[in-house]
Chain A
Amino acid sequence: MININEVIETNEMIEKENLDVRTITLGISLLDCIDSNVDKLCDNIYNKICTVAKDLVKTGEDISHEYGIPIVNKRISVTPIAMIGSAACKTTDDYVKIAKTLDKAATEVGVNLLGGYSALVSKGMTPSDELLIRSIPEALKQTNRVCSSVNVGSTKTGIDMDAVRLMGHIVKETAIVTNECDFPGCAKLVVFCNAPDDNPFMAGAFHGVTEKDLVINVGVSGPGVVKTALEKVRGESFEVLCETIKKTAFKVTRVGQLVAKEASKRLNVPFGIVDLSLAPTPAIGDSVADILCEIGLEYAGAPGTTAALALLNDQVKKGGVMASSYVGGLSGAFIPVSEDQGMIDAVNANALSLEKLEAMTCVCSVGLDMIAIPGDTKETTIAGIIADEMAIGMINQKTTAVRLMPAIGKTVGDVVKMGGLFGDAPVMPVNPYSCDAFVNRQGRIPAPIHSFKN
């Protein structure tokens, strides 16, 4: 039988160390909504989401109360809209209409974000894909809850550099058109390489075409729990350090597995995966950078950071995979800047640069995340940064992503204030030298040699 110390340990994790289930994400296939008439299509989408997701938020809250574990977000991911809209959408405005429908449905069922305003163009863009991509700035301007992602490369296909170049433009354009909004549109726009079909985390979630009609995916978190556990083993060997992280990751993931199973049962929707990521928030003590400091660095970004992060990421996976039968999504340590107070401190102390972050993304999930860059950064430079990150993903057979926020009218030293889960982003310097001639080449980067495994 459970003993009092175990109960106290669990409740301290929840109350003092910010243990929570970060998200229950309901994946919804919209393939059966397709119609060649855009209004009919929008009706179908709205009706399907509002029908299948009507109990999502309430179920999440019920589970949260019964087990005493916060479930921070209830969210929805849908089939990439570039596929759903291809028969109906003739203009970017048609796509924006779908985005507004998604926003309305998300508001109706009470989820805070909905992902899947997406296109998968790792080898090339259809005219419909390109229309959707071109509609992203306006779609993000006119909606509050819709998240967008574009997959521009994979280990199997190489990198579609035409899409990368276009995304350089779209990221900049999104920053410009949403500059007056309360919230930067770029925080809801991710560029991926090797995007997973079952990621529950925003802004990159979408419901892949390999998935069932409906599926429940759960993302757990708990950087604070890992940090607190490591405080007790200061000065100990790597073996002890790794064991501690593994055990903690196991416990955290088990909570996610329980919540996922329970949500699946109550909603009568199949359970998909648990994503065992360490996802920080701006709350004090809920930081991945703080774990790196606890491992032994003065600041995240100091020499040794990549090694410490590699160790952390690997132990989290090792502990987590035993705790859940189905692990998926991104599963690793996230290193967003604005969402992690320790990262912000590191940037402000000049300990952490864009280049060091890029190195860190080689050994963890996911990529250059929630980073504000000067507003006058050229589109080609943004495309160059995206291409670098995609190349890391392609060659290393892992998911990588870029979520950059050009801060219009701001420069290094300024801060982009967003608040809430997204935090505040200090504007970081970008290498000033040009990559125009590289980015402006047409076509794609071929698939790497290790993709030929057939």
Chain B
Amino acid sequence: MNKTIITVVGKDTVGIIAKVCTYLADNNINILDISQTIVQDYFNMMMIVDANKSEKMLATIQSELKAIGEEIGVIIKCQQEDIFNSMHRI
């Protein structure tokens, strides 16, 4: 199963997680794990999701999440998990 990593970076504000989760629920994307931290005053959130049941292509999900991010003033990225596994796991 290909997992996808969604990252949200920006200034903390009310409703970031709600917005992102609503979008994911609407598009049948299952959240497997969520974690968040503050790095140098910036809000950092990471979600590991399963987007295999979504009808949308990854490229569409990427651009729609990016647009939501722009609305609320954060950067939302969506990447296949493999790049992180390659780099950090032997």
Chain A: residues with CB nearer than 8 A to chain B? 1-11, 62, 65-69, 251, 254-255, 257-258, 262
Contacts and interface: CB of A to CB of B under 8 A. Distances in A.
Contacts of A255: 83, 86-87
Main secondary structure of the interface of B (DSSP, over half): strand
B35 A258 contact: no
Main secondary structure of the interface of A (DSSP, over half): helix
Given A3-B35, A65-B59, 8 more contacts: A2-B85, A4-B46, A7-B84, A9-B88, A11-B9, A68-B83, A254-B86, A254-B87
Nearest to A2: B84
Contacts of B37: 4-5, 8
Interface residues of B, number: 27
Interface string B12-45: 0000000000000000000001011101000011
Contacts of A7: 5, 7, 46, 84
B84 A66 contact: no
Interface of B: 5, 7, 9, 33, 35-37, 39, 44-46, 48, 58-59, 62, 77-88
A251 B39 CA distance: 22
25 contacts: A2-B5, A2-B48, A2-B84, A3-B35, A4-B37, A4-B45, A6-B84, A6-B87, A6-B88, A8-B39, A9-B88, A10-B84, A10-B87, A65-B58, A65-B59, A65-B62, A66-B79, A66-B80, A67-B80, A68-B78, A69-B83, A251-B87, A254-B87, A258-B82, A262-B82
B58 A258 contact: no
Nearest to B78: A68
A106 B55 CA distance: 36
A59 to B, nearest CB: 13
A69 B80 CA distance: 10
A317 B5 CA distance: 30
Q: Which of A10, A251, A257 has the most CB of B within 10 A?
A: A10
Contact of B88 (A2, A66, A68): A2
A11 B7 CA distance: 9
Nearest to A262: B82
Contacts of A11: 7, 9, 77
Nearest to B45: A4
Contacts of B33: 1
A254 B89 CA distance: 10
Given A11-B7, A66-B58, A251 B48 contact: no
A173 to B, nearest CB: 46
A2 B86 CA distance: 11
A5 B36 CA distance: 10
B1 to A, nearest CB: 13
Contact of B81 (A2, A65, A251, A257): A2
